[in-house]
Amino acid sequence: MVVDGTGAGRTPAADDLLGRWRARFRAADFEALTDLYHHEAFLLGSTTAPHVGRDQIRKYFESAGTVSGADVEFSQVTGRLVRPDVLLVLALAEFTASGASLPMWLTQVWVDDWLGWVIASHHASPVADLRSPTLSLS
């Protein structure tokens, strides 16, 4: 599925962009996965520290190691073209590996630059309501 951009070219749909990300993640091809990121991108994933730039982002993915059968399924995917060259993406990401499952909300900002469509910002948050009475932050 492709939506018309307001600029010179066509903007890929959020599903298509996440499909590219998923294929490289599933293959554990962290070099190719990192190629989807802008050279100055931000990533805040499952660690406490942000990762800035392709080198740090590649190290982040490599630090998890290759987990056989690791996968992610995306649902509730929404894309918003806020400028001809900026697409906001929101999705529920269900990561699975070694029989465990971790649902995360994923937001990405994709930009169209001289490399084509790349991720400028990536943030993942666990699906939890910190205001829930069953959670204690003390």
Q: Name the burial class of residue 88, with classes exposed (0-12), middle (13-18) and buried (19+) by CB atoms within 10 angstroms of its CB.
A: middle
Structure tokens at 100: 């465990």
Residue 20 placed within a domain: yes
pLDDT per position as a tens digit, 64-95: 766 677 899 999 999 999 999 999 999 999 99
pTM of the model: 0.83
pLDDT per position as a tens digit, 24-49: 999 999 999 999 999 999 999 888 89
Number of domains present in the structure of the chain: 1
Residue 22 placed within a domain: yes
CB 31 within 8 Å of CB 58: yes
Residue linked to tokens 């009475």: 133
Residue 80: the pLDDT is 95
Range of the domain at 56: 10-120
Q: What is the CATH number of the domain that holds 63?
A: 3.10.450.50
**Pairwise CA distance, residues 55 & 133, whole Å:** 40
CB 91 within 8 Å of CB 14: yes
